[in-house]
Amino acid sequence: MSMHDHPPFFSTWRKAYWFAIALFAVEVALLYAFTLRFS
Amino acid sequence: MNRLDYIVLFATILAIPLYGLWRTYNHPNLREYLKGDRTIRWGTIGLSVLATQAGPITFLSMPGQAYESGIGFIQNYFGQPFALIAVCAIFVPIYQRLKVYTAYEYLGQRFDKKTRLLGGFLFLIQRGIAGGITIYAPAIILSALLGWDLNLTIWLAGGFVILYTVVGGTKIVSLTQRYQILVILIGMALAFGIAVHRLPADLSFTDALGIAGKMGKLQAVDFSTDPSKRYTFWSGILGGFFLSLSYFGADQSQVQRYLAGNSLRASRIGLLFNALVKVPMQFLILLLGAMVFLFYQFEKPPMFFNQPTYQRAVESGSGPRLQALQAQFDEVFVQKRELLQNAAKDPNWSVQVQQLDARARAIRDDTKKILEEAGAAPKSKDSDYVFITFVLQHLPHGVVGLLVAVIFCATMSATSAVLNALGSTTAVDFYRLFWPHGSDHHYVVATRWLTAAWGLVAIAVASFCSLVENLIEAGNILASVFYGSILGLFLVAFFLRSVRGSAVFFGAVLAQTMVLVLFFTTNIGYLWYNFIGCVAVLLFAWILQATVFRSDAPATIPT
């Protein structure tokens, strides 16, 4: 069995990874805004 | 610490393992002992992974790091979310599909026995020593400040962990870690709240942050490309990525946590939970350090936080010189406090406060020199004593006991995961390989004995080691020296499909030798060893396969 046997399953996880990256980007943006505000 | 603190401390550190023993006591087979009984959900995995990484050093040293140098250290974790996603996408499905007990078992299936042994051996050396540091680091600080016997503190932190880890295996480690990390988070949140509450009443939280920022403590993100800067966005992303990829993908103490999941989905969500929670959690711990820094702008701090060392120097005849420095330090503190109290009226306060702060730092540096001359050189950085001094001197009774319990919980959770992994790797990758015909029960007993043996090794290392560097960095440096080569083995396995066992084995030996030579002869920043070691294995393995081992039989790729 490989990931390619289940395209919808793989696609769901791919979306989850992108979602995690997007949330992390928001975290970094907030930290940067915090830096600009208080430095 | 009074009686209430001791009751809270012992109730907390004993209740969790006892509950774990009650919940998990049975006669497991080898799979249950090494991987749990496949009932562990993503929440427990997420907290277990978080607890394994966040050892006592995180909670003792990190606030002190922010007190000393600001919260820029947060950037070291920027590579971690990307690494965790890579582990979810590449490492976890392979481990789950092949049903391996350890990460190094996969190397044996992909390459050969000697490569599996090399991967396991590098892990055992690195983690065997690191386990000792994990126990020693909090013990040296707590024993110094509380007047406890060092060896007794080491045994208190390590002895009970050995007992419950040996009895319960992976399941008890995951279960106890879930509650230990909750105690840790509650304790740290309480400390944060009290630190903010103890600031002057007329100072709002926003104004407090403004002062800390003007004093250079709140620069969380720095996009500078200056290589001389220690913590930047770029070094965090690149160096942090390789360190985290190796740690989460190839370090059995973490692999064992997520392989205990009841499904591939549970393992992945548990890891993604960490990708999102780690940075905010570390930010709050560092911000707590900045709040403690602010607190000590209005409440006079000790000139040197490691008071036992300071007192030794006074007793050995350096008293008059230290008293002279203390007088200067007190004067600087009073001037600085006056400026901060009148900050609203004086637009130039920040420049003057920064100058005074630099002077206070210079006085503390002079103090350290006098301590060294007096033969009372401290075994760890003074910043490691900042947070625990704040806790012991300024938090109410009961909370003090809880915060000391936080340090013990962090020690126990990190150590149990390491012992569990060391015992499993030695049993599965070494013992079972050379003694293949034992029964399932035989291997469970062998793993228990080996886990206990590694516990004693960790305590022996803790009893004999003495640190000279910052506690956070001692662990990270040790990891970085070995992690690059270990990660390289796995990346060759995944991505260089033409490379076979002998080429990757000798490539990794060459790469590890090169990293050790560089470590002892140059001053390269330690995070870079992860990258150098990893790339060197990939390169050497590829070259050796194309030249010396060109005639080797094609590799069998496990799927």
Encode B217-279 in three state secondary structure.
CCCCCCCCCCCCCCCCHHHHHHHHHHHHHHHHHHCHHHHHHHHCECCHHHHHHHHHHHHHHHH
Contacts 24+ apart (CB under 8 A), B313-321: B313/B370, B313/B371, B313/B374, B313/B376, B316/B374, B316/B375, B316/B376, B317/B374, B318/B370, B318/B371, B318/B373, B318/B374, B321/B370
B540 and B484, same structural domain? yes
Query: The CATH number of the domain where B212 resides is what?
Result: 1.20.1730.10
Does residue B123 sit within a domain?
Answer: yes
Residue A3: what pLDDT? 47
**What is residue B40's three-state secondary structure?**
strand
Looking at chain B from residue 540 to 559, which residues have their Cβ under 8 Å from any Cβ of chain A?
559
B355 and B407, same structural domain? no
Of B346, B377, B408, the position where a domain reaches its end is B377
Place of tokens 């080569």: B485
Residue B553: what pLDDT? 64
B155 and B7, same structural domain? yes
Q: For residue B46, which residues of chain A lie inside 8 Å, CB to CB?
A: none
B256 and B365, same structural domain? no
* Minimum Cα–Cα distance from B92: chain A residue: A3
CA B222, CA A28: separation in Å to the nearest integer? 11
Does residue B554 sit within a domain?
Answer: no
Q: For residue B74, which residues of chain A lie inside 8 Å, CB to CB?
A: 31
Contact B150, B139 (CB under 8 A): yes
Of B328, B346, B377, the position where a domain reaches its end is B377
Q: For residue B94, which residues of chain A lie inside 8 Å, CB to CB?
A: none
Residue B131: closest CA among B509, B520, B426, B403: B426
Does residue B182 sit within a domain?
Answer: yes
Residue B435: what pLDDT? 85
Q: For residue B233, which residues of chain A lie inside 8 Å, CB to CB?
A: 28
Contact B125, B136 (CB under 8 A): no
* Minimum Cα–Cα distance from B75: chain A residue: A28
B233 and B136, same structural domain? yes
B455 and B328, same structural domain? no
CA B51, CA B413: separation in Å to the nearest integer? 6
Residue B466: what pLDDT? 59
CA B357, CA B343: separation in Å to the nearest integer? 15
Please judge whether B279 and A34 are an interchain contact, meaning their C-beta atoms are less than 8 angstroms apart.
Answer: no
Does residue B301 sit within a domain?
Answer: no
B315 and B289, same structural domain? no
Looking at chain B from residue 206 to 235, which residues have their Cβ under 8 Å from any Cβ of chain A?
209-210, 212-214, 216, 218-222, 233
Contact B249, B103 (CB under 8 A): yes
Helices B56-69 and B386-394 sit at what angle, rounded to 10 degrees?
A: 100
Instruction: Name the phi and psi angles at B261, rounded to 5.
Output: -65, 150
- Residue to mutate among A23, A31, A36, A37, with most B CBs inside 10 A, is A31
B402 and B353, same structural domain? no
Cβ neighbours of B141 (radius 10 Å): 25
Residue B45: what pLDDT? 92
| CA distances to B256, B275, B338 from B180, in Å | 18, 20, 42
B348 and B272, same structural domain? no
Residue B292: what pLDDT? 94
- Domain that residue B314 falls in: 307-377
B226 and B292, same structural domain? yes
Looking at chain A from residue 1 to 39, which residues have their Cβ under 8 Å from any Cβ of chain B?
1-3, 13, 16-17, 20-21, 23-24, 27-28, 31-32, 34-35, 37-39
Does residue B493 sit within a domain?
Answer: yes
Q: For residue B89, which residues of chain A lie inside 8 Å, CB to CB?
A: 13, 17
- Residue to mutate among B207, B231, B276, with most A CBs inside 10 A, is B276
* Minimum Cα–Cα distance from B233: chain A residue: A28
Burial environment of residue B207 by CB neighbours within 10 A (0 to 12, 13 to 18, 19 or more) = middle
Burial environment of residue B54 by CB neighbours within 10 A (0 to 12, 13 to 18, 19 or more) = buried
Please judge whether A13 and B85 are an interchain contact, meaning their C-beta atoms are less than 8 angstroms apart.
Answer: no
Please judge whether A35 and B97 are an interchain contact, meaning their C-beta atoms are less than 8 angstroms apart.
Answer: no
Residue B134: closest CA among B469, B484, B410, B457: B410
Q: Is the pLDDT of residue A7 over 60?
A: no
B428 and B499, same structural domain? yes
pLDDT per residue rounded down to tens, chain B (559 residues): 789 999 999 999 899 999 988 888 777 788 888 877 777 889 989 999 998 888 888 888 889 989 988 999 999 899 999 999 999 999 999 998 888 989 999 999 999 899 999 999 999 988 888 888 888 878 877 887 788 888 888 888 888 899 999 988 888 988 898 999 999 999 999 999 999 999 888 888 888 898 899 888 999 999 988 877 778 898 889 888 888 998 999 999 999 889 888 889 999 999 999 999 999 999 999 999 999 999 999 999 998 888 888 888 888 888 888 889 899 999 999 988 888 887 767 777 888 888 888 898 899 888 888 888 877 666 667 888 899 899 989 999 999 999 999 988 999 999 999 999 999 999 988 999 888 888 888 999 999 999 999 999 988 888 776 554 555 567 778 888 888 999 999 999 999 988 998 999 999 999 999 999 998 888 777 777 888 999 999 999 999 999 988 877 665 666 5
Does residue B51 sit within a domain?
Answer: yes
Handedness of CA B435, B436, B439, B441 (dihedral sign): positive
Contact B52, B165 (CB under 8 A): no
Residue B468: what pLDDT? 46
Does residue B312 sit within a domain?
Answer: yes
Residues in chain B: 559
Token pair listed for B312 = 């030794």
Handedness of CA B518, B524, B528, B531 (dihedral sign): negative
- Residue to mutate among A24, A26, A36, with most B CBs inside 10 A, is A24
Q: For residue A27, which residues of chain B lie inside 8 Å, CB to CB?
A: 276, 279-280
Considering the entire predicted model, what is its pTM? Answer: 0.88
Residue B454: closest CA among B481, B480, B483, B416: B416
Does residue B28 sit within a domain?
Answer: yes
Interface size between A and B, measured as CB pairs under 8 A:
57
Residue A1: what pLDDT? 43
Number of domains in chain B: 2
B23 and B150, same structural domain? yes
